[in-house]
Chain A
Amino acid sequence: MMERTHKDHAQLSDVFNEDEPRVNWHDETLWWVRQKRDRAAHGIPEFELLRETASQIKNNVLSNLSDYLVQFEANALANGIIVHWAANAAEHNRIVHSILEKHDVKRIVKSKSMLTEECHLNEYLGGQGISVVDSDLGELIVQLAKEPPSHIVLPCIHKKKEEIGEIFHRHLGTEKGMSDPQVLTETARQHLRETFLTRRIALTGVNFAIAETGEFVVCTNEGNADMGAHLSDVHIASMGIEKLIPKRKHLGVFLRLLTRSATGQPVTTYSSHFKTPRKGQEMHIILVDNGRSAQLGRKEFRNSLKCIRCGACMNTCPVYRRSGGHSYHNAIAGPIGAILAPNLDMKEYADLPFASTLCGSCSNVCPVKIDIHDQLYKWRQVIVQEGYAATVKSVSMKAMAFTLSSPALYRFAGKSGRLFLKYAPFAVSNQMNPWYKQREMPEPPAESFGEWYKKNRN
Chain B
Amino acid sequence: MSREKILAAVAANQPASQPLPPDPGMNFPAGDLVEKFAAVVTAIGARVVGIGSVAEIPARIAELFQGGRIVSFIPELAEIAENDISPATDPHTLENVDVTILQPHFAVAENGACWITEDLMGHRVLPFITQHLAMVVTAEQIVPTMHQAYDRIAEGAYGFAAFIAGPSKTADIEQSLVLGAHGPRSMTIFLVGL
Given A64-B17, A289-B9, A296-B13, residue A135 in contact with residue B182 (CB < 8 A): yes
Residues in A neighbouring B88, C-beta threshold 8 A: 279
A293 at the interface (CB under 8 A from B): yes
- Write the chain A residue with the least CB distance to B91: A231
B71-129 residues with Cβ-Cβ distance < 8 A to A are 87-88, 91-92, 95, 108, 110-113, 118, 123-125, 128-129
Q: Which residue of A lies closest to B158 (CB)?
A: A275
Shortest CB distance A390–B (Å): 30
Asked if A138 is at the interface (CB within 8 A of a chain B CB), the reply is yes
Q: Name the interface residues of B119-153: CB closer than 8 Å to any CB of A.
A: 123-125, 128-129, 145-147, 149-151, 153
Which residues of B are found within 8 Å of A394, using beta-carbon distances? none
Check A293/B125 contact, CB under 8 A, given A29-B175, A226-B183, A252-B147: no
**B95–A193 CB distance below 8 A:** yes
A98 at the binding interface (Cβ < 8 Å): no
Do A241 and B10 touch across chains, with their CB atoms under 8 A apart?
A: yes
Query: Which range holds the interface residue count of chain B?
Result: 35 or more
Contact A53 B150 (CB under 8 A): no
Question: Which residue of chain A lies nearest to B15 when distances are taken between CB atoms in the complex?
Answer: A63
Is B3's CB under 8 angstroms from A85's CB? yes
Residues of chain A within 8 A (CB-CB) of B5 are 87
B194 CB-CB contact with A under 8 Å: no
Partner of B40, one of A141, A266, A293: A266
Determine if A164 is an interface residue (Cβ-Cβ < 8 Å): yes
B173 touches A87 (CB 8 A): no
Q: How far is B176's CA from A224's CA once the two chains are assembled, in angstroms?
A: 18
Interface presence of A184 (CB below 8 A): yes
The stretch of A152-160, A336-344, A374-382, A437-445 in contact with B is A152-160
Q: Decide if A24 is an interface residue (CB 8 Å cutoff).
A: no
- Pick the contact of B29 from A45, A188, A270, A302 — CB < 8 Å? A45
Cross-chain contact B150 with A249 (CB below 8 angstroms): yes
- CA–CA, A60 and B129, complex, Å: 39
Which residues of A from 142 to 199 have beta carbons under 8 Å from B? Answer: 154-157, 160-161, 164, 181-182, 184-186, 188-189, 192-193, 196-197
Residue A293 contacts which of B13, B147, B171, B176 (CB distance < 8 angstroms)? B13
User: Majority SS of interface residues in chain B?
Assistant: loop
Chain B residues, Cβ within 8 Å of A272: 160-162
B11 A66 Cβ-Cβ under 8 A: yes
* B14, B118, B169: the one within 8 Å of A269 (CB): B169
Whether A299 lies near B2 (C-beta < 8 A) is no
Q: With A33-B175, A227-B128 as given contacts, are A66 and B160 in contact (CB-CB < 8 Å)?
A: no
Q: Find A296's partner among B1, B10, B175 (CB 8 Å cutoff).
A: B10
Which listed residue, A53, A69, A86, A302, touches B24 by the CB 8 Å rule? Answer: A53
With A57-B21, A186-B180 known as contacts, the answer to whether A267 contacts B111 (CB < 8 A) is yes
Nearest-Cβ distance from residue B69 to partner chain A, whole angstroms: 15
Q: With A and B bound together, what is the CA distance between A275 and B156 in angstroms? A: 11
Question: What CA separation (Å) do A13 and B120 show in the bound complex?
Answer: 51
A137 within 8 A of B: yes
In the complex, the answer to whether A266 meets B159 with C-beta atoms within 8 Å is no
| Interchain CB contact under 8 A, A294 and B87 | no
Q: Among A32, A221, A272, find the residue whose CB has the most chain B CB atoms closer than 10 A.
A: A221
> Can you list 18 contacts pairing A with B, beta carbon distance less than 8 Å?
A45-B28, A53-B22, A53-B24, A69-B7, A137-B172, A185-B170, A189-B181, A223-B128, A253-B147, A255-B146, A265-B44, A270-B183, A278-B87, A289-B6, A293-B13, A297-B9, A299-B15, A302-B13
**Interface, chain A (partner B; CB < 8 A):** 29, 32-33, 44-46, 49-50, 52-53, 56-57, 59-60, 62-66, 69-70, 85-87, 91, 135-138, 141, 154-157, 160-161, 164, 181-182, 184-186, 188-189, 192-193, 196-197, 221-224, 226-227, 230-231, 241, 246, 248-249, 251-253, 255-256, 263, 265-279, 287, 289, 293-294, 296-297, 299, 302
